[in-house]
């Protein structure tokens, strides 16, 4: 069975919940929980976090995740995914 790459868009500057990807849930940042769960999917062999924020990139690096820095001018998460 062919495996796929999962790309997770992550913004720090959300208007409804600024900093959401770094919010702690049971002692771990939300983005780490998301990455771990996506990595457990049977068809996923690579997980990439796409972000324009160095704080998110630093946290993803700290738990061994893969991160791609994207431009800051994307209006949607889909636009951010397309850049990767």
Quote the number of domains for the chain: 1
Write down the pLDDT at residue 75: 86
d(Cα 75, Cα 11) in Å, to the nearest integer?
A: 11
Write down the pLDDT at residue 39: 98
Write down the pLDDT at residue 6: 98
Does residue 78 register a pLDDT over 90?
A: no
pLDDT in tens, 15-57: 899 999 999 999 999 999 999 999 999 999 999 999 999 999 9
76 — pLDDT class (breaks 50, 70, 90): confident
The domain in which residue 32 lies consists of: 4-83
Write down the pLDDT at residue 70: 96
Please report which helix (H) or strand (E) contains residue 65, including its range.
none
């Amino acid at each position: 069975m062919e495996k796929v790459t999962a790309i997770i868009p992550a913004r720090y500057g959300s208007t409804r919940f600024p900093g959401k990807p770094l919010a702690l849930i049971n002692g771990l940042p939300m983005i780490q929980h998301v990455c771990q769960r996506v990595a457990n999917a049977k068809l996923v062999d690579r997980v990439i976090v796409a972000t324009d924020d160095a704080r998110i990139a630093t946290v993803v690096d700290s738990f061994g995740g893969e991160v791609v820095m994207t431009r800051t001018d994307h209006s949607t998460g889909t636009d951010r995914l397309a850049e990767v």
